[in-house]
Amino acid sequence: MKDKVTIHTLKRLKQSGQKITMVTAYDATFAHVFDEAGADVLLVGDSLGMVIQGHDSTLPVTMDQMVYHSLAVNRGTKRALVVTDMPFMSYQVSVEEAVRNAGRLVAEGKAGAVKLEGGAEFADVISAIVRASIPVMGHLGLTPQSVHKMGGYVVQGRDEDAANKILEDALALERAGCFSLVLEGVPLELGRQITQRLSIPTIGIGAGKYCDGQVLVCYDLLGMNPDFKPKFVKRYANLHGSITEAVGAYFSEVRAGTFPDEEHSFKSKPIRLVTAPPEPTTEAPGEGAEKMGPVYGAPV
């Protein structure tokens, strides 16, 4: 087996100028495909609240759900580093709760690292988790758990003050002990400058080409949702189209009676079934007989 990716692998990739590949995964089957395809990092993103659960934000996602998906992704992964998002309210209340929850993701969910959103105001939380020997990935810029504070999913750091604040936060996260950080929804030039100023690798999503790596939500890059196409998403496949075609063909064949055919059916020697048909019932139909329909409820 190819060597497992660790936080040290990622630092070496930055130092040698090689890009880091990261994609979200939520289950073992997709994780296995992405791992074999060469992902360096698999992110069990709290975006699962939107793409798996159908919510309109990531806020309702719970710790138990992140543990469940993290374990599933872990089982499908051989080489990639599995990073699991800390969900909303699992690290904001107190340092103690944050360390305990990060510990659950690693101990119960078998994550190799955790990710949390926020800047300098979370430096104490991050250093406490790192002190517990749990690697932490930061996440700055467009931080979806702050959707109400941001007033929507809006690009961050467009003016000089906002850009400087994000750079300060990035430096604070590096000092606090993050091994890497996600930069989401910031202008290309800010992505470039932060990447240049940090010794830890930056992973961009809508943060331009100068980041040390890139991450996308797997369903976005695979083209699963024709109604979701923000500027930073590139579709490398049209799974929505392929799947619609595939299940459509299946439904047509079922309706036409051409599936299953002989090739997809089990054969045996000729068999004569000897079990007698049931005796006609003599009892009066009991309560609920009506609901059972004409076959069982039929008068005798």
Ligand X SMILES: CC(C)C(=O)C(=O)O
Distance CA 176, CA 118 (A): 12
Q: Does 237 bind ligand MHF (CB under 6 A)?
A: no
Q: Name residue 86's beta-bridge partners.
A: none
- In 3D space, the residue among 52, 64, 50 whose CA is nearest the CA of residue 153 turns out to be 50
Q: Is 40 in the site for ligand X (CB under 6 A)?
A: no
Residue 259 interacting entry, from ligand MHF, Mg ion, ligand X, none, C-beta within 5 to 8 Å by type: none
For 115, the enclosing helix (H) or strand (E) is strand 113-115
Q: Is 46 annotated as a binding residue?
A: yes
Non-local (6+) Cβ contacts of 222 within 8 A are 235, 236, 237, 239
Q: Which stretch binds ligand X (CB under 6 A): 6-14, 42-50, 124-132, 227-235?
A: 42-50
**Least distance (Å) between residue 242 CB and ligand X:** 23
Helix (H, G, I), strand (E, B) or coil at 180: strand
To ligand X, the closest distance from the beta carbon of 294 in angstroms equals: 52
Q: Which one of 43, 66, 125, 173 is in contact with ligand X (CB under 6 A)? A: 43
Query: Is 189 marked active-site?
Result: no
List alpha helices for 91-238, DSSP H: 95-107, 123-131, 147-150, 160-176, 188-197, 218-221
Amino acid at 10: L
Residues forming contacts to ligand MHF in the complex (CB under 6 A) are 47, 50-51, 58, 142, 144, 153-155, 217, 219-220, 228, 230-232
Annotated binding residues: 46-47, 85, 115, 117
Q: Active-site residues: which are they?
A: 184
Residues forming contacts to ligand X in the complex (CB under 6 A) are 24, 43, 45-47, 85, 182, 184, 205, 215, 217
